[in-house]
Amino acid sequence: MKELSGAWIFYTILPKWPCINPSFNRIARFAPLIGLIIGIIQVLILLALSKLNWPSESLVFFAIASNLFITGGLHYDGLMDTADGIAAGPKRCFEAMKDSRVGASGVMTFIINIAIQIAVLLKLDSNYIFALPVANFWGRYSQLWAIGNYKYITNNGTSKFHRSNWNGNLIESIPSIIVIIFTIYILFQINILNSLKIYFLIINILGFAISIIIPKLLANKLGGHSGDSYGASVVLVETSTLFLISTIFPASI
C-alpha cells in the first residue's frame, strides 16, 4: 500500500493518500495500474462533458489536456529530451538530453505526437471508453519492460533507483498480471456482445506488443535507457496503441 501510494505521487500531481507515508523503492511495478486509473479518470471526464452536451470534437482536446494535467507533462518532457538527444547524434546525445532547454527536434516531436493523438481520438469516437485505459496501461508497462531488459545509461540519473531495486520481470509484473486477469474475468462475466470482448482482447495484445517493441527501438538508438527515455516510451506506446486501435477497428462498435 505504501509503494502504491508512492507511485500515485511519483507519476501524478494528485495528492498523496491520507495517513500513509509512501515508499518509492519499487514503485515502478505499479506504474501500469496508475496508468489504468489515469485512463479511467479521462473517460469519466469525457463522459461527464458528453452528458453536458459538449460536442464530440471538443472532447478530444479535453482528453489530451486531462492527461497532461494529471501527469504534469512528466512523460512529454522525457519525450522531448529524448528526441533532442537522438537528433544530436551519438557524440552529443547525452549532452542534448541533459540540456534544460528544449530543441527544435523536441518541439517538433511534441507537436507531431499531439497532432496524431487528436486525429486518432477523433477517429475513435466513442471507443475512447476502451482505448484510453488500455493505452495508458500499456504505455506505462513499457517502462517496466525498459527497466527490466535494458541497461541504465547514465551514472547519476534520478530514475536509476528503479533498476537498483529491480527483482526480475515476472515479479515486478505481478500487479499488472493481476489487473489483466481481473479485468478479463469481469469482462466475461458481464452481459455484452462477444464482439466487444474479442475487441478488448485484441487491443490488449496489440498494446502488449507495442510496449515491448518501442523500448527496444529506443534502446537500440540510445544504447540503453534513462529516465527521459522511460518517459518517451510511455508517450510513444500510448500514441501508437491509440493509432493501431483506431486504424484496425471502425469508428463505433
| pLDDT tens-digit series, residues 62-97 | 999 999 999 988 899 999 999 999 988 888 887 888
Is 236 within the bounds of a domain?
yes
Query: What's the whole-number mean pLDDT along residues 180-201?
Result: 79
pLDDT on residue 35: 93
Residue type at position 132: L
For residue 13, name the pLDDT band (cuts at 50, 70, 90): confident
Integer Cα distance of 120 and 39 in angstroms: 16
**Which range is least confidently modeled, 149-163, 202-216, 238-252?**
149-163
Q: Is 225 helix (H, G, I), strand (E, B) or coil?
A: strand
What's the half-sphere exposure (Cβ side, CA atoms, 13 Å) at 209? 10
Query: What's the whole-number mean pLDDT along residues 135-150?
Result: 94
Is 39 within the bounds of a domain?
yes
For residue 9, name the pLDDT band (cuts at 50, 70, 90): low
Could you give the residue ranges of the DSSP H alpha helices within the chain?
2-11, 31-51, 56-71, 74-88, 93-98, 104-124, 128-149, 160-164, 169-172, 174-189, 194-222, 227-248
Residue type at position 143: Q
**pLDDT for residue 195 is more than 80:** no
For residue 158, name the pLDDT band (cuts at 50, 70, 90): low
pLDDT on residue 253: 53
Check residues 253 and 224 and name the one with the higher pLDDT.
224
pLDDT on residue 38: 93
Integer Cα distance of 69 and 64 in angstroms: 9
For residue 22, name the pLDDT band (cuts at 50, 70, 90): low
pLDDT on residue 65: 94
Is 253 within the bounds of a domain?
no
Angle at 84 between CA 164 and CA 24, to 5 degrees: 25
Integer Cα distance of 105 and 107 in angstroms: 5
Integer Cα distance of 253 and 250 in angstroms: 7
pLDDT on residue 186: 84
**pLDDT for residue 159 is more than 80:** no
Is 37 within the bounds of a domain?
yes
89 conformational bin, left if phi > 0, alpha if psi -120 to 50, beta if neither? left
pLDDT on residue 197: 76
Check residues 52 and 10 and name the one with the higher pLDDT.
52
Q: Is the dihedral of CA 143, 221, 99, 160 positive or negative?
A: positive
Distant-in-sequence, close-in-space partners of 194: CB < 8 Å, separation ≥ 6: none
pLDDT on residue 187: 79
pLDDT on residue 74: 86
pLDDT on residue 10: 63
Query: In this structure, what C-alpha cell is assigned to residue 162?
Result: 528503479
Residue type at position 234: V
Integer Cα distance of 161 and 10 in angstroms: 13
Residues of the domain holding 244: 2-248
For residue 4, name the pLDDT band (cuts at 50, 70, 90): low
Backbone angles phi, psi at 152, to 5 degrees: -90, 125
Could you read off the pLDDT of 145-154 as tens digits, one per residue? 999 999 888 7
Integer Cα distance of 225 and 149 in angstroms: 10
Specify the number of domains making up the chain.
1
**pLDDT for residue 15 is more than 90:** no
pLDDT on residue 192: 65
Is 42 within the bounds of a domain?
yes
Integer Cα distance of 141 and 176 in angstroms: 8
Query: In this structure, what C-alpha cell is assigned to residue 11?
Result: 507519476
pLDDT on residue 41: 93
Is 29 within the bounds of a domain?
yes
